[in-house]
Amino acid sequence: MADDLVLEMRGITKEFPGIVANDNVSFELARGEVHALLGENGAGKSTLMNILYGLYKPDAGEIRLRGKPHTFTSAKDAIEAGIGMVHQHFMLIPVMTVAENIVLGNEPVREGVLLDEAGAEERVRSLSQQFGLAVDPGSLVSQITVGQQQRVEILKALYRGAEILILDEPTAVLTPQEATELFGIIRSLQADGKSIIFISHKLNEVLQIADRITVLRRGKTIETVPREGATQESLARAMVGREVLLRVDKPPASPGDVLLEVEDLHVVDDRGIEKVSGVSFSVRAGEIVGIAGVDGNGQTELIDALTGLRRAASGVVRVAGREYVHATPREMIVAGVGHIPEDRQRRGLVLEFSIAENIALHDYAEPPAAKWGWLFPARLVERARTLIRQFDVRGGGPLTRAGGLSGGNQQKVVAAREIARDPKVLIAAQPTRGLDVGAIEYLHRRLVEERDEGRGILLISLELEEILSLSDRILVLYEGRIAGEHAGEVSEEQIGLEMLGGGRAAAA
Amino acid sequence: MTEPGPDIPPVSPEEAAATGTLVSRLSLRQRSGGIVVPVFTVIVAFLIGGAVVAATGHNPLTTYHDIFNGAGLNWFGHPTTNTAGTAPYNLTQTLLVTTTLILTGLAVAFAFRCGMFNIGGQGQYFVGLFVANWIGASWAGMAPLPHILIGIGAATLAGAIWAGIAGFLKAAVGAHEVISTIMLNWIAIWVGTYLFGDGGPLQNSANKALPISNDVTPSAQLPVFWGDQQLQGLHIGFFVALAALVAFWLILNRTTLGYEVRAVGFNPDAAAYGGIDVKKNLVRAMAISGAFAGLAGGLDMLGYAYRIGVSDIPVSAVGFLGIAVALLGRNTAVGTGLSALLFGALLYGTTHGLQSGQIDPQLAGNLTYIIQGLIVLFVGADVLILYVWNSRRRLRRRQQVAA
């Protein structure tokens, strides 16, 4: 394999003011190889790929393409050299068909000016058959699933003659079933001699699909290892630089009183469409209840209704026995509901505020933060200093702007604020989205600790693995209804089925 | 005016790439209320204004020197020796305008900090002016202190209500404040025209032929501490305006009300999540904004104007100038104070400093507008300035690549 290298990056160094993003990084890719690039957020994966894709110019180092030195100056350059990139966020035009999206920028034409629609569809069809990427060229992009949209992105790259495909966190948006299908596609591309760079921070996936794995940490290549012999533990250690506890160490739950009770809750969204249709469940003290589901099945509306951010159409919410109907966010906060929101940047934090000001977001008007409407910034700072230490927030002090922190540290600020109020119920919505291994480990451990403190924890996540590893009970939300409930051991496949609405049929 | 740049260690290479460039540092500074862009804006505006003067065949340096002296700013060079000439008088006039502009500027800045654009400073100023005139011209012979306090208080309240209407409409039905404040401006203008016009209820009671108001009685007139009361001396309202700057800063940074205003201004979603009543804050912030403008109207009426003529109403633009003042001052207390002084000096300095006959009076008056216009243009176009900066960098990089 080594003598058939399609890409060599040697000694790549890229410095930004104040930081070395890539420090003498080397990376190579053989023909027909899947090479995973593994690293925490900020390890330098994106910088390296942006250099390869012609978006950054390296300060030092050499890129060889099929043995010849090559300098990329733009993405166009890279595409012409046979490099294709599938971004995490798709760049498709929803109102155009699959075929139109794929040929965009390089359209087959009829009579010099007209788009050869039939020809385009034909070429897309043959391409999709060749690689086993089933999509209907005539469908509108807005009408196909996320998994299919990803295939369209891959086809787009192949259409432009890509020999090297960069897949940036490709499974982040997929269900487990879709991810399995994607791996099938990757295998068939591989069999066809394409080379694939698979960027991820999910260890199990990497071990499943990659031939070789290169781990980056703080801009340096830590190791390049073959899949054989690598374990999740060894990779995590290389990524983080210390031993990482991957499995959540969780003593059995000892549930107490019911702290949160939801009865026949109905919630409609802004467009008047019912998104939560008669959901009932309860959360006891000292247990973690996980809600699994594909994005958009009513999770957001459910959380909003429980926290007072949205009026429920009907139904009852009880916190520690007290009933709350059409409560305001403030009433729910006072009732003892803590909330780590799913979008920490849009809702969880005022990015322009300092850490101290953000920590005071719920109780800025109560003593000791304030008295008679007069604010005492020094006291906010004092308390923030304590919580920063307690929750191990790094990257700044109490007066640092929250927007200047990394995602993991931003989330720690949110968690610190919510937990410090000593809530009875803690709603954690996608608490580890976009975070790296170290931060995920911390937050998971913390949630279990808070459970053991006697709080009732409602965990809503799109990451099935997270739900499975943390929850004492699991509910599956599908189209606004509870499609499954599991207290003991349950397989990933069963939940995956229920997430797609197949649970009842399969159970029957 | 904290500069958060240096104390944040870059957390990741990607982020370092985003925060490391000159442009992003600049924009960070600017977001945090820095002074680079405003100063740059003023310099460029003056340069282009100078080019316009030069194009008409005059010496820009002499012109600016005349404006400087016309605004009375030369007084600072020799405050004790040259108290005779025109400098002290000019300075008092500049500071009179500055007083008004500080308050109309704060009226825009406060709403801005809550995420709203108050275009209605002019209308709020008018209602303050009208109410102060009505109260100041009534109850002759009342004790001065209560008369003044009631007059100023009522003017402030009137401005608050006027702006509060726009805030309420936004909170209740989502009517955009830009539209509603503009409409409220016109309502104020026509109400004033009716009140003080021919046959209006508040028209001059002595001379029914004139469309002007009654005069504010001496008991309601603000004490003048510098200059002659008969010749528009500088009244104590100047200190009220300075106190308003301090109050503005204190409210925003040292009260829970200000915390809510800023949270809503930066991120209404996060504010609502935090338990803050966003709608209540929209109404309240608009009302406080309007209070500043109403106060400006009250001080002007009881401080030096004493009466209002219908023909004066369409001419007044201090409310609109407040927008430029706030924009240039980056909606901060210190910035608003400084830019109010700059605009005050420009306004008075151009109209009175360029009357030497050397410069066409037409040009003299319009030069103010040219410079104001340029400043507003550049303040609004700071994105453009940053873009130019950015493309210079891109060009350089391209040259490196080519080489």
Ordered by where they begin, the domains of chain A are 2-240 (3.40.50.300), 258-349+423-507 (3.40.50.300)
Contact B7 A396 (CB under 8 A): yes
Amino acid at A363: D
Minimum-distance CB partner of B2 among A42, A73, A399: A399
Where b means 16+ CB within 10 Å and e means fewer, A55-77 reads bbebeebebebeeeebebeeeee
Selected residues 361-390 of chain B with any CB under 8 Å from a CB in chain A: none
pLDDT at B44: 83
Under a CB-based contact definition with an 8 Å cutoff, are residues A179 and A463 in contact?
Answer: no
With 50 as the cut, is the pLDDT of residue A482 above it? yes
Residues of B in Cβ contact (< 8 Å) with A44: 13
Contact B270 A21 (CB under 8 A): no
Under a CB-based contact definition with an 8 Å cutoff, are residues B189 and B123 in contact?
Answer: yes
Selected residues 22-61 of chain A with any CB under 8 Å from a CB in chain B: 22, 41-42, 44, 46-47, 57
Pairs of residues, one from chain A and one from chain B, whose beta carbons lie less than 8 Å apart: 137
Residue percentage of chain A with pLDDT more than 90: 47
pLDDT at B386: 56
Contact B4 A399 (CB under 8 A): yes
Which class for A177: exposed (0-12), middle (13-18), buried (19 or more C-beta within 10 A)? middle
Higher pLDDT, B15 or A384: A384
Q: Which residue of A has its CA nearest to B19?
A: A17
Residues in chain A: 508
Positions of chain B with pLDDT lower than 50, given as ranges: 1-33, 401-403
pLDDT at B11: 35
With 60 as the cut, is the pLDDT of residue A507 above it? no
Best of B1, B3, B12, B30 to mutate (most A CBs within 10 Å, chain A): B12
The ranges assigned to domains in chain B are: 98-330
| Whole-number Å distance between alpha carbons of A316 and A281 | 11
CB atoms within 10 A of CB B355: 14
Task: State pLDDT tens for residues B291-334.
Answer: 999 999 999 999 999 999 999 898 888 998 998 899 888 889 99
Q: Which residue of B has its CA nearest to A367?
A: B256
Best of A19, A332, A355, A358 to mutate (most B CBs within 10 Å, chain B): A19
Residue percentage of chain A with pLDDT more than 70: 97
Under a CB-based contact definition with an 8 Å cutoff, are residues B202 and B214 in contact?
Answer: yes
pLDDT at B387: 59
Selected residues 399-418 of chain A with any CB under 8 Å from a CB in chain B: 399-401, 404-406, 409
Residues of B in Cβ contact (< 8 Å) with A46: 13-14
Interface confidence (ipTM) of the complex: 0.80
Structure tokens belonging to residue A420: 């410090």
pLDDT at B354: 67
| Whole-number Å distance between alpha carbons of B125 and B316 | 10
With 70 as the cut, is the pLDDT of residue A238 above it? yes
CA distance A343 to chain B (A): 10
pLDDT at B341: 94
Contact B274 A361 (CB under 8 A): yes
pLDDT at B28: 47
Selected residues 248-277 of chain B with any CB under 8 Å from a CB in chain A: 253-260, 262-263, 266-267, 269-275, 277
- Its pTM stands at 0.76
DSSP character string of A82-111: TEEEE-SS----TTSBHHHHHHTTS--EET
